[in-house]
Every structure is written in C-alpha cells, then in structure tokens.
Amino acid sequence: MTVAFDYTRSTGPVIGRFLTGLRDATIVGGRLADGRVAVPPPEFDPVSHQAVTEFVELPDTGTVTSWTWVSEPVAGQPFERPFAWALITVDGAGTPWLHAVDVASPDDIETGMRVRARWSEERTGSVNDLVFEPDTGDRAVAQTPAAGDDVSRIVTPVGLDYHYAASPEESSFFRGLAEGRILGQRCPKCRKVYVPPRGACPTDGVPTAEEVELSQVGTVTTFCIVNVPFLGQKIKPPYVSAYVLLDGADIALQHLILDIPAEEVRMGMRVEAVWKPREEWGTSIENISHFAPADEPDADFDSYKHHL
C-alpha cells in the first residue's frame, strides 16, 4: 500500500535564494549575528532571532565532520547503491550541512576527509542538484548557471509505503474482487451487511461470520464534485466521488461516478459497477474502474436515508 501526495510550498526570500544558488551551481550561505555563515541559511538567526538578510557565496568544497554508512538504500534516497550520509562543513561556513557522499565503501570515507560537490547537468533548484565526492585535488569543471527566474516554489513528493496484513474477512473481499465479485460479511445478530467486510459488527460486537455476495448495482447516497486540479490527478475535473450503497449492503462504498456530467449526479441515482478489462485486474477495489448510471428510476429517499 502507498499513501502519497505532492506537497507544494513557497520558498520565501531566504530558502529561495539558497535553492536558486543550487540551480546555478553555487552554494549560498546566510550570515548569522555572530559572524558565522550557515548552510543552508535559516530565515532567522537561531540565537538572536534576527532575520537573516546577508548572503554569502561559498566554494563547493568542504570537510566531513561526521558520517554514517547506508548499506541498504531505500526509495527516494540519492543512490540505489550503498553510500554515506555526512555532516559536511563547506569551506567558509560555520555550520555543517547534511548531504550524501558518493563513495564505494565505508573504508573510503573518514572524519576530516575533504570533499567536493559533483553537480548535476540538469539542475532545478533542489538539494538533489548535487552530491559530494572525495576531493582529489583536480581542478573542478566550471558549471554554467541554469537559466530561469529565481526559485520561488518547490514541489516535494511525500510518500509512505507499507505492507498491509489483511484480516481473513478482508482477504476474502480482495480475492472476490480478483474474481469479479463484491463480497461482504453479515452480522448474525442484527443482520447488517458490511462491505468492505469487518471482522466484528461495530453495532453488536459479535463476529461477522456469514459471507454475502452483493449486487453490483446500488444507490448514490452522498457525493462530492471535485473541481480542484492537483498534481498526479488521473481524471480531469470536474468529476464525482460518491458513496454508493450497494443493494443488500448496510454501509456505503466510496468510488467514482463517471459516464455522466458531474452536474447531473444526484442523491438517489441508481448506478452500477464498471470493471476494468480482466487482464488489468489485481486484488484491489481498483478492479472496478468506476460506477456509471444504471437504467433504473432514482431510489426513494426513504430507502437510503438511514445510510447517509
């Protein structure tokens, strides 16, 4: 399972100046009240709390002050092979900067080692525009500043990958989806049917032992029209996300309503599941592409008013 979104933020005049410098292959620090230069520059001095307004361009060389070895990199890190994270004090700076050092083994890095930035050919104004490597003393190739306006906005992908252990009831639900069926569980006491299924009835607290195959036709109870575009969006707005109460169920299932103009979607509308081509099926609710209008009259409000 993956939970992810792209976080967009404005950089402000200080971080923006720093990131613009990285895009132009220049390390920019900010002078603190005590005369030290901090990299990256903070917006406010951590001791005096004064705004940082003076910027200093620094060389792209420095010294490793401490480090740790990454033997098994994870997604999103600078390398897919082992590397080192290090606190690097850039020449002329008074504070260290945490960054990646490209070395083959932990025997190739030590505290006090001299390093130099290796700049990306295509830079965007990000800390990923460079990595550090051992400074061999060779003269660095001059980098051409990248064209463009100052960096004033950045997009940071935020994501969490995790393995989900399905309960026996949920496992049955997912296997059913792989077979083109929608399965729920019935409470033996109150007889309510839950989909996706739950191991115990939230009303009575007893196990939901009876498996029920549900209809693929249902009723729209409540819905939302999505008008705001966002990065990674797969469907062009406007479109509808709705709660669909499947016939025979006592809890609504959230899904997309398509094949109808968004402004025509309404409470009580009868809809039916539209499945993706079978070769695209997995074991998830995404096997159902969306719900589309069914050729039936709208449901009476009294039939779903207790499921809103």
State residue 140's pLDDT score: 62
Query: Vertex 281, ends 218 and 185: CA angle to 5°?
Result: 45
3-state percent breakdown (helix, strand, coil) of the chain, nearest 5: 15, 35, 50
Mean pLDDT per block of 10 residues along the chain (308 residues) reads 84 96 96 97 96 96 98 91 98 97 97 97 93 86 72 88 87 94 95 93 91 96 93 87 97 96 97 97 95 97 93
Question: Phi-psi bin for 191: left (phi > 0), alpha (psi -120 to 50), beta?
Answer: left
Could you tell me the CA-to-CA distances from 121 to 113, 130, 132, 258 in Å, in that order?
Answer: 25, 9, 14, 43
For 228-256, the pLDDT digits (tens) are 987 678 899 999 999 999 999 999 999 99
Q: For residue 279, report the phi and psi dihedrals to the nearest 5 degrees.
A: -65, -15
State residue 75's pLDDT score: 82
Residue from 201, 220, 196 nearest 285 by CA: 196
State residue 8's pLDDT score: 87
Alpha-carbon span 295 to 252, nearest angstrom: 20
CB atoms within 10 A of CB 262: 16
State residue 141's pLDDT score: 65
R_g of the chain computed on alpha carbons: 28
- Cα-Cα-Cα-Cα dihedral sign, residues 48, 50, 56, 59: positive
Alpha-carbon span 252 to 220, nearest angstrom: 9
